[in-house]
Amino acid sequence: MERWVGRVAVVTGSSAGIGAAIAEELVKLGLQVVGIARRVERVVELATKLKSEKGKLHPLKCDVSLENDVREAFEWIKTNLGGVDILINNAGVAKYSNLIDGPYENWKAILDLNVLGLSLCTSEALAIMKENGVDDGHIIHINSAVGHSLPNFPNMTYMYAASKHAVTVLAEGLRRELLSQNSKIRITSVSPASTATEFRVASGRPLDPQRSYSNSPHLLPKDVADSVVFALSAPPHVQLHEMLIHPRSKNVQ
Protein backbone atom coordinates (compact mmCIF):
# COMPACT_ATOMS: atom_id res chain seq x y z
CA MET A 1 0.00 0.00 0.00
CA GLU A 2 3.03 2.31 0.13
CA ARG A 3 2.37 3.63 -3.36
CA TRP A 4 -0.99 5.01 -2.22
CA VAL A 5 0.36 7.04 0.72
CA GLY A 6 -0.63 10.70 0.36
CA ARG A 7 -2.94 10.06 -2.57
CA VAL A 8 -6.66 10.84 -2.66
CA ALA A 9 -9.38 8.26 -2.10
CA VAL A 10 -13.09 9.07 -2.23
CA VAL A 11 -15.44 6.87 -0.19
CA THR A 12 -19.18 7.34 -0.67
CA GLY A 13 -21.61 6.43 2.08
CA SER A 14 -18.90 6.88 4.69
CA SER A 15 -21.05 7.87 7.69
CA ALA A 16 -21.47 4.33 9.05
CA GLY A 17 -20.94 0.63 8.49
CA ILE A 18 -18.76 -0.53 5.63
CA GLY A 19 -18.07 2.98 4.29
CA ALA A 20 -16.87 4.25 7.67
CA ALA A 21 -14.69 1.17 8.13
CA ILE A 22 -13.09 1.62 4.71
CA ALA A 23 -12.45 5.32 5.32
CA GLU A 24 -10.86 4.57 8.68
CA GLU A 25 -8.52 1.89 7.31
CA LEU A 26 -7.37 4.08 4.42
CA VAL A 27 -6.67 7.05 6.72
CA LYS A 28 -4.61 4.79 8.98
CA LEU A 29 -2.62 3.72 5.91
CA GLY A 30 -1.75 7.33 5.10
CA LEU A 31 -4.24 8.33 2.40
CA GLN A 32 -6.11 11.59 2.01
CA VAL A 33 -9.68 10.30 2.22
CA VAL A 34 -12.79 12.24 1.22
CA GLY A 35 -15.70 10.85 3.21
CA ILE A 36 -18.89 11.57 1.28
CA ALA A 37 -22.21 11.23 3.09
CA ARG A 38 -25.58 12.84 3.67
CA ARG A 39 -25.06 12.53 7.44
CA VAL A 40 -21.78 14.41 7.24
CA GLU A 41 -21.77 15.11 10.98
CA ARG A 42 -20.92 11.45 11.53
CA VAL A 43 -17.97 11.73 9.19
CA VAL A 44 -16.83 14.81 11.11
CA GLU A 45 -16.88 12.73 14.31
CA LEU A 46 -14.83 10.00 12.63
CA ALA A 47 -12.36 12.58 11.31
CA THR A 48 -11.84 13.86 14.86
CA LYS A 49 -11.21 10.32 16.09
CA LEU A 50 -8.61 9.79 13.33
CA LYS A 51 -6.83 13.16 13.54
CA SER A 52 -3.61 11.61 14.92
CA GLU A 53 -3.39 8.97 12.19
CA LYS A 54 -1.01 8.99 9.23
CA GLY A 55 -3.55 10.22 6.70
CA LYS A 56 -6.52 12.58 6.93
CA LEU A 57 -10.28 12.29 6.55
CA HIS A 58 -12.04 15.16 4.76
CA PRO A 59 -15.82 15.11 5.45
CA LEU A 60 -17.96 16.23 2.52
CA LYS A 61 -21.74 16.47 2.53
CA CYS A 62 -23.30 14.99 -0.60
CA ASP A 63 -26.38 12.99 -1.55
CA VAL A 64 -25.07 10.57 -4.18
CA SER A 65 -28.57 10.11 -5.61
CA LEU A 66 -28.64 13.79 -6.69
CA GLU A 67 -26.77 14.76 -9.87
CA ASN A 68 -25.92 18.31 -8.80
CA ASP A 69 -24.63 17.15 -5.41
CA VAL A 70 -22.30 14.65 -7.07
CA ARG A 71 -20.94 17.08 -9.65
CA GLU A 72 -20.37 19.75 -7.00
CA ALA A 73 -18.65 17.26 -4.69
CA PHE A 74 -16.14 16.18 -7.32
CA GLU A 75 -15.51 19.78 -8.31
CA TRP A 76 -14.71 20.51 -4.64
CA ILE A 77 -12.36 17.54 -4.53
CA LYS A 78 -10.56 18.66 -7.69
CA THR A 79 -10.25 22.25 -6.47
CA ASN A 80 -9.20 21.50 -2.89
CA LEU A 81 -7.27 18.23 -3.13
CA GLY A 82 -6.10 18.27 -6.74
CA GLY A 83 -7.77 15.13 -7.95
CA VAL A 84 -8.88 11.55 -7.32
CA ASP A 85 -6.77 8.39 -7.39
CA ILE A 86 -9.19 5.89 -5.81
CA LEU A 87 -12.99 5.79 -5.78
CA ILE A 88 -14.89 3.47 -3.45
CA ASN A 89 -18.55 3.38 -4.50
CA ASN A 90 -20.09 2.23 -1.24
CA ALA A 91 -23.29 4.29 -0.88
CA GLY A 92 -26.38 2.15 -1.28
CA VAL A 93 -29.94 1.61 -0.09
CA ALA A 94 -32.49 -1.21 -0.10
CA LYS A 95 -35.82 0.57 0.63
CA TYR A 96 -37.95 -2.49 1.29
CA SER A 97 -40.68 -2.97 -1.28
CA ASN A 98 -42.10 -5.60 -3.61
CA LEU A 99 -42.55 -5.90 -7.35
CA ILE A 100 -46.32 -6.21 -7.31
CA ASP A 101 -47.23 -2.90 -5.74
CA GLY A 102 -43.94 -1.08 -5.09
CA PRO A 103 -44.09 1.59 -3.88
CA TYR A 104 -42.62 3.30 -6.93
CA GLU A 105 -40.72 5.89 -4.91
CA ASN A 106 -38.78 3.10 -3.19
CA TRP A 107 -37.85 1.54 -6.54
CA LYS A 108 -36.67 4.93 -7.76
CA ALA A 109 -34.61 5.59 -4.62
CA ILE A 110 -32.84 2.25 -5.06
CA LEU A 111 -31.99 2.77 -8.72
CA ASP A 112 -31.10 6.46 -8.34
CA LEU A 113 -28.49 5.68 -5.68
CA ASN A 114 -27.27 2.13 -6.32
CA VAL A 115 -27.06 2.37 -10.12
CA LEU A 116 -27.18 5.96 -11.38
CA GLY A 117 -25.34 7.53 -8.44
CA LEU A 118 -22.62 4.90 -8.62
CA SER A 119 -22.30 5.42 -12.37
CA LEU A 120 -22.09 9.21 -12.11
CA CYS A 121 -19.47 9.08 -9.34
CA THR A 122 -17.46 6.69 -11.49
CA SER A 123 -17.71 8.96 -14.54
CA GLU A 124 -16.73 12.05 -12.54
CA ALA A 125 -13.74 10.31 -10.93
CA LEU A 126 -12.52 8.92 -14.24
CA ALA A 127 -12.78 12.35 -15.91
CA ILE A 128 -10.56 13.86 -13.19
CA MET A 129 -8.10 10.97 -13.42
CA LYS A 130 -7.86 11.47 -17.18
CA GLU A 131 -7.43 15.23 -16.79
CA ASN A 132 -4.59 14.68 -14.29
CA GLY A 133 -2.92 11.91 -16.28
CA VAL A 134 -3.61 9.31 -13.58
CA ASP A 135 -3.35 5.92 -15.28
CA ASP A 136 -2.93 3.73 -12.21
CA GLY A 137 -6.15 4.66 -10.42
CA HIS A 138 -8.58 2.18 -8.93
CA ILE A 139 -12.40 2.09 -8.91
CA ILE A 140 -14.04 -0.23 -6.38
CA HIS A 141 -17.77 -0.96 -6.37
CA ILE A 142 -19.16 -2.31 -3.10
CA ASN A 143 -21.56 -4.78 -4.63
CA SER A 144 -23.40 -7.61 -2.83
CA ALA A 145 -23.67 -11.38 -2.85
CA VAL A 146 -27.24 -10.86 -4.09
CA GLY A 147 -25.72 -9.27 -7.19
CA HIS A 148 -24.68 -12.78 -8.28
CA SER A 149 -27.63 -14.95 -7.23
CA LEU A 150 -31.17 -14.58 -5.96
CA PRO A 151 -31.66 -16.22 -2.54
CA ASN A 152 -35.22 -16.75 -1.42
CA PHE A 153 -34.96 -14.61 1.69
CA PRO A 154 -38.12 -13.65 3.61
CA ASN A 155 -39.10 -10.09 2.65
CA MET A 156 -36.52 -10.20 -0.14
CA THR A 157 -36.19 -6.88 -1.93
CA TYR A 158 -35.98 -7.90 -5.55
CA MET A 159 -35.45 -4.37 -6.82
CA TYR A 160 -32.42 -4.09 -4.53
CA ALA A 161 -31.09 -7.39 -5.88
CA ALA A 162 -31.71 -6.17 -9.43
CA SER A 163 -29.70 -3.02 -8.69
CA LYS A 164 -26.79 -5.13 -7.47
CA HIS A 165 -26.97 -7.39 -10.53
CA ALA A 166 -26.67 -4.13 -12.48
CA VAL A 167 -23.53 -3.26 -10.50
CA THR A 168 -22.03 -6.61 -11.52
CA VAL A 169 -22.64 -5.74 -15.18
CA LEU A 170 -21.37 -2.18 -14.72
CA ALA A 171 -18.11 -3.43 -13.23
CA GLU A 172 -17.48 -5.84 -16.10
CA GLY A 173 -18.54 -3.24 -18.66
CA LEU A 174 -16.13 -0.69 -17.20
CA ARG A 175 -13.33 -3.24 -17.24
CA ARG A 176 -13.92 -3.77 -20.96
CA GLU A 177 -14.14 -0.05 -21.73
CA LEU A 178 -10.91 0.71 -19.85
CA LEU A 179 -9.19 -2.18 -21.59
CA SER A 180 -10.31 -0.88 -24.99
CA GLN A 181 -8.59 2.44 -24.16
CA ASN A 182 -5.41 0.68 -23.01
CA SER A 183 -5.94 2.22 -19.57
CA LYS A 184 -4.19 0.79 -16.54
CA ILE A 185 -6.96 1.99 -14.22
CA ARG A 186 -8.40 -1.03 -12.46
CA ILE A 187 -11.98 -1.90 -11.48
CA THR A 188 -12.87 -4.26 -8.63
CA SER A 189 -16.31 -5.40 -7.53
CA VAL A 190 -16.40 -6.42 -3.85
CA SER A 191 -19.51 -8.46 -3.02
CA PRO A 192 -20.06 -9.15 0.67
CA ALA A 193 -22.84 -11.34 2.00
CA SER A 194 -24.71 -10.39 5.18
CA THR A 195 -22.70 -7.76 7.08
CA ALA A 196 -23.54 -6.40 10.53
CA THR A 197 -24.30 -2.73 9.88
CA GLU A 198 -27.21 -0.29 10.22
CA PHE A 199 -28.16 -1.02 6.61
CA ARG A 200 -31.29 -3.06 7.23
CA VAL A 201 -32.71 -0.58 9.70
CA ALA A 202 -31.73 2.42 7.54
CA SER A 203 -33.57 0.80 4.64
CA GLY A 204 -36.85 0.83 6.50
CA ARG A 205 -37.11 -2.46 8.35
CA PRO A 206 -38.26 -2.23 12.02
CA LEU A 207 -35.36 -4.25 13.43
CA ASP A 208 -33.00 -4.07 16.36
CA PRO A 209 -29.60 -3.62 14.60
CA GLN A 210 -27.89 -5.91 17.11
CA ARG A 211 -30.46 -8.71 17.35
CA SER A 212 -31.03 -8.82 13.58
CA TYR A 213 -27.60 -10.41 13.11
CA SER A 214 -27.22 -12.30 16.39
CA ASN A 215 -28.61 -15.63 15.20
CA SER A 216 -27.02 -15.89 11.77
CA PRO A 217 -23.47 -15.96 10.35
CA HIS A 218 -22.36 -12.54 9.20
CA LEU A 219 -19.38 -10.41 8.28
CA LEU A 220 -18.16 -7.30 10.10
CA PRO A 221 -17.55 -3.98 8.32
CA LYS A 222 -13.81 -4.32 8.92
CA ASP A 223 -13.83 -7.65 7.04
CA VAL A 224 -15.03 -5.82 3.94
CA ALA A 225 -12.62 -2.93 4.53
CA ASP A 226 -9.74 -5.41 4.75
CA SER A 227 -10.83 -6.92 1.43
CA VAL A 228 -10.78 -3.46 -0.16
CA VAL A 229 -7.25 -2.89 1.16
CA PHE A 230 -6.23 -6.29 -0.23
CA ALA A 231 -7.53 -5.32 -3.69
CA LEU A 232 -5.74 -1.97 -3.57
CA SER A 233 -2.49 -3.58 -2.45
CA ALA A 234 -2.32 -6.01 -5.38
CA PRO A 235 0.56 -5.35 -7.83
CA PRO A 236 -0.40 -2.95 -10.65
CA HIS A 237 -0.42 -5.76 -13.22
CA VAL A 238 -2.96 -7.81 -11.22
CA GLN A 239 -6.68 -7.32 -11.93
CA LEU A 240 -8.76 -8.46 -8.95
CA HIS A 241 -12.03 -8.06 -10.76
CA GLU A 242 -14.53 -9.79 -8.47
CA MET A 243 -14.30 -10.60 -4.76
CA LEU A 244 -17.24 -12.59 -3.35
CA ILE A 245 -17.09 -12.68 0.45
CA HIS A 246 -19.16 -14.90 2.73
CA PRO A 247 -18.98 -15.62 6.44
CA ARG A 248 -17.82 -19.19 7.01
CA SER A 249 -21.03 -21.20 7.26
CA LYS A 250 -22.34 -24.62 6.33
CA ASN A 251 -25.24 -22.86 4.60
CA VAL A 252 -23.03 -21.19 1.99
CA GLN A 253 -23.16 -23.05 -1.31
Contact 94, 160 (CB under 8 A): yes
Which among 127, 233, 242 has a CA at the least distance from the CA of 187? 242
Measured CA to CA in angstroms, residue 10 lies from 14, 40, 181 at distances of 9, 14, 23
Q: Where are the beta strands (DSSP E) in 134-202?
A: 138-142, 186-192
The CA dihedral of 75, 172, 145, 31, to the nearest 10 degrees, is -40
CA–CA separation, 126 vs 170, rounded Å?
14
Which among 87, 89, 81, 36 has a CA at the least distance from the CA of 61? 36
Active-site positions read 160
